[in-house]
Amino acid sequence: MAGNDNEETVTTQPRSAGAKYIYVTRNPYDCCVSYYHHCKGLPWYRFTDGSFDDFVDAFVRGKVTYGDYFDHLLSWYDHRNDPNVLFLTYEDLKKDAPASVLKVADFLGAREYGEQLRTHPDALEKILNGVSLESMRKLTFTIKVSRTASPTRPGAMESTSLSDKLKNEDSSVCSSKALAAKSLLSGQLVRKGVVGDWKTQFSSEQLTWMKAWITLKTRETDVMDLWKDVDLP
């Protein structure tokens, strides 16, 4: 089971005043559900038989790849008003994609990009088509494979290409992993992309776990106000 092995990556962001950062966050309920299906769908996490109960337990304890959700979010939330940070929510992106694209363009360069998109609506439309859910499904993904992982918990990823990994596998394992890779490359890595999918997954008991964890982690911050207009438990 992988936690966050490098606390510095969470506590020292953003790293450079000379760079621009775009941070996108998603409400913790939908994030948990999406991450669960992500780990279930990738065989190298070795979580294909894991239950949602198992995953929620790991998620609220920060025992998932990249560590605790709120440790990462809050480290960036503190910088949301920095001039070189654009802080967005997934829900706002879904609610008004054109406005969100223009906001990103203005952040990167109002004259170079923002004004250009406003005066060339065909270019804006091309971008909107390119970032649509259907277009995301057509992208070619770089496949990474896992190192050791628990059969009942999502594990960590390592930077070994699938083709290199398969060289040392027997034919049956190669066939299985090749089929999995083909499935992913066909676009199945992208699932629903909707807001509110938590309603289809959480039991009342699991919601109790999540609420208690959220209350504990956000007791000294207003970060959950990011979703005050979103239907959350």
> What percentage of the chain reaches a pLDDT higher than 70?
73
**C-alpha dist (Å) from residue 89 to 18, 60, 95, 160, 207:** 23, 20, 10, 31, 21
| Cross-strand bridge partners of residue 85 | 21
Q: Kindly state the average pLDDT of the residues 140-161.
A: 44
Give residue 73's pLDDT.
96
Residue 228 has pLDDT above 90, yes or no: yes
| Cross-strand bridge partners of residue 89 | 25
**C-alpha dist (Å) from residue 15 to 5, 66, 70, 104:** 18, 18, 19, 20
pLDDT in tens, 182-211: 555 544 578 899 999 999 999 999 999 999
Give residue 17's pLDDT.
87
Give residue 47's pLDDT.
87
Give residue 165's pLDDT.
41
**Chain-wide mean pLDDT for the chain?**
81
Residue 3 has pLDDT above 60, yes or no: no
Give residue 147's pLDDT.
39
pLDDT in tens, 81-117: 999 999 999 999 999 999 999 999 999 999 999 999 9
> What percentage of the chain reaches a pLDDT higher than 90?
61
